[in-house]
Structure 1
Amino acid sequence: MIVDSPGRTGMLYHCPAAAPRTSTEALIELIAALSCEALASGMSLVQSLAAPTAKADLAATTSAGYEPLAELIYMRLDLAEPTERKIDGSLSWRSYGRFNDEELGRVIAATYEGSCDCPKLRGVRPMDQIIAGHKASGLFVPQSWWIVDREGVPAGCVLVNDSADLDSTELVYVGVVKASRGLGLGRKMIQRVAADAYLRGRRVLTLAVDARNTFAKRVYDVEGFREVDRRMAQVIFRSQAENGQT
């Protein structure tokens, strides 16, 4: 089945291709048909996640028209009581409400330039759909969505939502604009949201990062995140269905 999500995306779920009495051919046909129907109904894309070792599942979705998107590394940080840190006077922090979706969209778009995170997704959906998808990823917490200004100019953003698990919170998106990279801003944003999450009673911060984004992965490693899982993300786009490629 395909579960519809805000932001005009879908997530594919199917029985294991290697399960007993499963017809691989029938499964491929079913995945292709469901995906075409979902995309024709207005979804911009449908994603599928599988373990790197699930070769039969990956082969089935590939045969149904899906293409590789990213190897996602899932990471976890056990939060501790925050320590005092030196305040960077060049930075100012604005939470959601002190900016609107239009401004946030401009900042997010600026952070995409030169980024290694899932480059195939760029330009596929309008920014309002992207932001809607971020808001729907977990429980939207407006006070945990930040734009960071450096010397009065937007330099990055970090978006954190709570999980249904009352102990956990998720780093939904973090990005730094090109002109502000190499200044340690990514680490400062992570430290800020980790401290805020702890003070709100959360004890775990999770995230997923594209394995190709080695710079971000190093930052997360330094900040104490540890890898807990990996998944191969695949995607099929509406343009493929419209062009009869499935």
Structure 2
Amino acid sequence: MKFVFVLAIFIVCAAAVTILKVKNTRQCKSNGGVCKQTCAVDEEDIGQCCRNSNRCCQTSTCIDTLQYAQCKAKNGDIKPVCDANEQDTGIGPFCNTHRCCEPPTCIAKVDCNCKHFNDCPIGNTEYEDITGNCSGSDECCKPCCLTCGGIFKGPVGSFTSPNYPSKYCIDQHCYYNITVAEGLKVILKFTYFHLEAGISTSGLPYDFVQIYDGEVKAEALLDTLYGGPTEGKEFNSTSNKMIIHFVTDDRDHFPGFSVSYKTLQ
């Protein structure tokens, strides 16, 4: 008798679950939803429905049409993370948490100007592109980017010195501004670093990188880097902002640096 009673309770519960699933399925469809195993990144997961523990997926109530248009107006592209040297415009995040990434302000789209060995002028007009394809000992010479730096607002990101891994140009002042969400901090890592070594008569290195915690002022300076090659050096901010200042003088140039960053609680 006890077994029959337990069995009856089980049957009633199973029936109730089935009815609930059917009800959830109808409710999902009546609200414009679709039952799927997994909802897409731009859909909202409303809850369980249908058989096999499927989910009720509805079109997201988040509307980012205006933001999308603003991004496209800047020739931007919507990505999970901006590529190295792309600027995070600050538009977004979108419904799928992607960012609006703007192309670098200076892009050398010209083909190689092949010149004899050591004929690329050392200056701010041309640089030797080591990824170029010139015959023999000729160098691939491309115009220098006279603008540099960038704005990065995503939770993670990366950037490099101009022309990296080719040599940077002379007489450049570049600011890379990183801003993450309020309440978080920035952890910055130099994956590669190679600048000109030596100190000038002014007391500053010939070429250098300065890392600032939050704002550009003497008491916020975390370190001044020069020389190399080296890799793996890390810095942590005490706020949600970090600024990297890259300076080159009027002589000699080297491969530069590659940086990645992420947020820290």
* Range into which the TM-score falls when normalised by the shorter chain: under 0.3
TM-score by length of 2: 0.23
Answer 1 or 2: higher relative contact order, Cα 8 Å, separation at least 6: 1
Larger helix proportion of the pair = 1
TM-score by length of 1: 0.24
Larger strand proportion of the pair = 2
